[in-house]
Amino acid sequence: MYTLSNYMGVQYSYDYNSNAHDTWLFVGRNQNDVAQSIDNNRAFITAVAKNSPVNAQWACSTGAVSDLSNFSWPNGTSADQSISAFLMRSSATGVCGEDWP
């Protein structure tokens, strides 16, 4: 996650080997609601959610999103500066709230 669009600003990384898989994790107090771009950089799906604990407002990414203001949660609200949780899948398949690149 990056605090600015186009993968600029402060980068917050979550290592696959150091975090739980297939479970929702809070992004962290300082990282909450600051992301303006995300880069999955994994072969498997990474899901992100608007809220923590997670409700119906979440999406999956298999690639990168350079400007979250161009994307919305399932309820239509902007995804920009609103990510609170993430989930690193241990496979390339699964159900998603929304599909982003």
The 10s digit of each residue's pLDDT in 11-46 is: 999 988 899 999 999 999 999 999 999 998 887 889
Number of structural domains found in the chain: 1
- 77 pLDDT higher than 90: yes
Say what the pLDDT of residue 69 is: 97
E-assigned strand segments in the chain: 2-4, 8-11, 25-26, 38-39, 46-49, 58-61, 64-65, 85-88, 99-100
Residue 85 belongs to a domain: yes
Say what the pLDDT of residue 101 is: 65
Residue 98 belongs to a domain: no
DSSP state for residue 37 in the 8-state scheme: B
Residue 7 belongs to a domain: yes
pTM above threshold 0.85: yes
Which candidate, 47, 52, 98, 101, places its Cα nearest to that of 77? 98
Write the CATH number for 50.
2.60.20
Encoded amino acid at 41, one letter: N
Residue 101 belongs to a domain: no
Host domain of residue 40: 1-92
Mean of the per-residue pLDDT values of the chain: 92
Residue 54 belongs to a domain: yes
Query: Phi then psi for 64, rounded to 5 degrees?
Result: -135, 150
Residue 29 belongs to a domain: yes
